[in-house]
Amino acid sequence: MDQRTRIRRTTSAAALLFALTTAATACAAVAGGVEGKPGAAGLRDPYFPRLGNGGYDVTHYDLDLDVDVRTGGDELRGTATITARATQDLSSFNLDLAGLDVTGASVEGRPAAVNRAGSELTLRPDADVEDRLREGRTFRTVVHYSGAPRTITDRDESEEGWLKTADGSLALGEPTGSMTWFPGNNHPSDKASYDITVTVPEGLTAVSNGEQVSRRTAGDRTTYHWRATEPMASYLATVAIGRYTTKSSRTPEGVEVFTAVDPKVARASGPVVARIPEVMTWAAGRFGPYPFASTGAIVDRREDSEYALETQNRPVFPGTPSTGLLVHELAHQWFGNSVTPETWQDMWLNEGFATYAEWLWSEDHEDTPTRESFDVAFANDLNWAFPPADPPSAAELSAPPVYGRGAMVIEKLRQAVDDDKVFFALLAGWAKEHRHGNASTEDFTAYAEKRTGQDLGELWDTWLYGDGRPEDPDAQVTP
Ligand code: TRP
Ligand code: ZN
């Protein structure tokens, strides 16, 4: 709508004044040939409408963090350099940031006006650089910030964000926590590459995603530089600071395996951590080539986190994982980390597939057919609280139906296909089709129908979208 229409439609005096001010600003911009508009403050995710921001696409984050590690709570100083491409002509745009103090910001090298409201950080670039934020152009934003990074308690009572551990700190970001330690477009749909540089007291190790670029000690501080080259969703970014025994090796396929293990858990976790190459080889055989340059694990103490997380390249485990949990988190690298949900409603695409990977591992290594794992899940009342494609609220995004019923959907698909060659080609094909991208539930159902040539509508209606447990576990199998 043009400015005149906008003014005509506004009614109250305040709104009129606002419209006139906006019109004046727009006119000034028009003189320079640009009529930018503010980027949206959220991406309308069905569960977190304010997460993420509109108007741009981040291509790269360069995060430089100096962490004063303290038992009672860390102090952090950070600089985030964000390279993004405008998807509209922008007059201002938002980043997500929870807590911390913004001490300065610039866009394209010129100081930007900063405004904060809740976890929305609004940056208004200098008028001189407004033409650098036209649709399609790439621009650079620098945010300087500091403070005590916070922990977020999720709707399901679990903790994420910046956590204190026995000997340091751990950043976990699913679904929203990354905004506690860096400003960004905090939604899974905007993936980017990352350089993460962390300076810590000498003697502590800082581990992050991707591959280690360098480690330098100056005075009593050590700086670790990590680089994740392949696209990564913000919820998969991590920093783990503490005393770790680190090891680097390679899988038979030549993928780097970097592990960081708390010495207190080293002995107990040794045997399972040593199975990472074997699991990687197996998973690549089932799901296709590994999509990242490195793998591994971060193993902290049991009490350091309430759950494991599939942080990119190297998942985090609180204490010694079972082989099943190791398989689960490594399978997420294909399903979740490379093929990433379009919105948080598509969470079952992560958890259903990772759970199904555990079932497949048991089938291949423990003589337990996936059909038996399905039967156990079918009998479990917890799995029937709601359909996996439609969690009732954000409090249920990590609830049993997302995992168990999600995996049941894949097993029903296997039964419907009734040809393992076709079924496994479909799984690997799904990973390949959306490699390093995003996908929705509808993308998956359409893909499965295209690959099989079958109308699977009843299967989805019953197992993916339907309420309650069907009478018959064999329902809707029509090979
Ligand atoms: N997504 C994680 C996994 O599957 C687990 C997880 C993350 C979780 N946040 C959670 C589980 C909150 C329960 C509650 O490994
Ligand atoms: Zn999982």
Tokens 């350091």 — which residue? 304
153 Cβ inside 6 Å of ligand 1 = no
- Indicate whether 211 and 83 sit together in one domain: yes
Tokens of 59: 């291509």
Residue 253: phi and psi, rounded to 5, are -85, -5
The secondary element (H helix, E strand) that includes residue 225 is strand 221-232
* pLDDT score recorded for residue 477: 64
Q: Separation of 160 CA from ligand 2 center, angstroms?
A: 15
Q: Separation of 308 CA from ligand 2 center, angstroms?
A: 8
Query: Within a 10 A sphere around the Cβ of 389, how many other Cβ atoms?
Result: 26
User: Which ligand 1 atom lies nearest to the CA of residue 154?
Assistant: 12
130 Cβ inside 6 Å of ligand 1 = no
Q: Which residue in 283, 266, 363 sits closest to 330, CA to CA?
A: 283
Instruction: Provide the β-strand partners of residue 84.
Output: 58, 139
Rounded to whole angstroms, how far apart are CA atoms 262 and 319? 9
Q: Separation of 324 CA from ligand 2 center, angstroms?
A: 11
Q: Separation of 175 CA from ligand 1 center, angstroms?
A: 9
- Indicate whether 26 and 155 sit together in one domain: yes
Of 227, 243, 259, which residue constitutes the final position of a domain?
243
Rounded to whole angstroms, how far apart are CA atoms 225 and 227? 7
Q: Separation of 339 CA from ligand 2 center, angstroms?
A: 13
Closest residue by CA, ligand 1 atom 3: 309
Tokens of 336: 């979740």
Does 476 fall in a domain? no
Does 362 fall in a domain? yes
Rounded to whole angstroms, how far apart are CA atoms 228 and 206? 15
Q: Separation of 264 CA from ligand 1 center, angstroms?
A: 23
Q: Which residue in 220, 273, 277 sits closest to 246, CA to CA?
A: 273
What CATH number does residue 29 fall under? Answer: 2.60.40.1730
Instruction: Provide the β-strand partners of residue 199.
Output: 66, 223
Which of 157, 160, 307 maximizes ligand 1 atoms within 8 Å of its Cβ, making it the mutation to test the pocket?
307
Rounded to whole angstroms, how far apart are CA atoms 222 and 206? 9
Does 313 fall in a domain? no
443 Cβ inside 6 Å of ligand 1 = no
* pLDDT score recorded for residue 239: 98
Of 218, 243, 268, which residue constitutes the final position of a domain?
243
Rounded to whole angstroms, how far apart are CA atoms 207 and 69? 14
Closest residue by CA, ligand 1 atom 9: 174
Reported pTM = 0.93
308 Cβ inside 6 Å of ligand 1 = yes
Q: Separation of 264 CA from ligand 2 center, angstroms?
A: 25
Taking the chain, what is the end-to-end CA distance rounded to the nearest angstrom?
53
Does 43 fall in a domain? yes
- Indicate whether 63 and 210 sit together in one domain: yes
358 Cβ inside 6 Å of ligand 1 = no
Does 267 fall in a domain? no
- Indicate whether 40 and 178 sit together in one domain: yes
User: Which ligand 1 atom lies nearest to the CA of residue 325?
Assistant: 15
Say if residues 158 and 152 touch (Cβ distance below 8 Å). Answer: no
Residues 390-415 as b/e (b if ≥16 CB within 10 A, e otherwise) read bbeebebbbbbbbbbbbbbbbbbbbb
Q: Separation of 160 CA from ligand 1 center, angstroms?
A: 10
Q: Separation of 132 CA from ligand 2 center, angstroms?
A: 40
329 Cβ inside 6 Å of ligand 1 = yes
396 Cβ inside 6 Å of ligand 1 = no
Closest residue by CA, ligand 1 atom 15: 309
Rounded to whole angstroms, how far apart are CA atoms 234 and 196? 12
- Indicate whether 121 and 234 sit together in one domain: yes
Q: Where are the alpha helices (DSSP H) in 32-76?
A: none
- Indicate whether 211 and 353 sit together in one domain: no
Tokens of 258: 């970097």
What CATH number does residue 424 fall under? Answer: 1.10.390.10
Does 162 fall in a domain? yes
Does 266 fall in a domain? no
**How many domains is the chain built from?**
2
Listed in order, strand segments (DSSP E) in 332-477 are 339-341, 437-439
Does 290 fall in a domain? no
195 Cβ inside 6 Å of ligand 1 = no
- Indicate whether 22 and 138 sit together in one domain: yes
Which of 309, 316, 358 maximizes ligand 1 atoms within 8 Å of its Cβ, making it the mutation to test the pocket?
309
Q: Which ligand is nearest to the CA of 351?
A: 2
Tokens of 161: 């964000």
Of 243, 261, 280, which residue constitutes the final position of a domain?
243
β-strands 437-439, 339-341: how paired? parallel
pLDDT tens for the chain, 479 residues long, are: 333 333 333 334 433 333 333 433 444 444 445 589 999 999 999 999 999 999 999 999 999 999 999 999 999 999 999 999 999 999 999 999 999 999 999 999 999 999 999 999 999 999 999 999 999 999 999 999 999 999 999 999 999 999 999 999 999 999 999 999 999 999 999 999 999 999 999 999 999 999 999 999 999 999 999 999 999 999 999 999 999 999 999 999 999 999 999 999 999 999 999 999 999 999 999 999 999 999 999 999 999 999 999 999 999 999 999 999 999 999 999 999 999 999 999 999 999 999 999 999 999 999 999 999 999 999 999 999 999 999 999 999 999 999 999 999 999 999 999 999 999 999 999 999 999 999 999 999 999 999 999 999 999 999 999 999 999 999 876 54
User: Which ligand 1 atom lies nearest to the CA of residue 354?
Assistant: 4
456 Cβ inside 6 Å of ligand 1 = no
The secondary element (H helix, E strand) that includes residue 422 is helix 420-433
Domain encompassing residue 63: 12-243
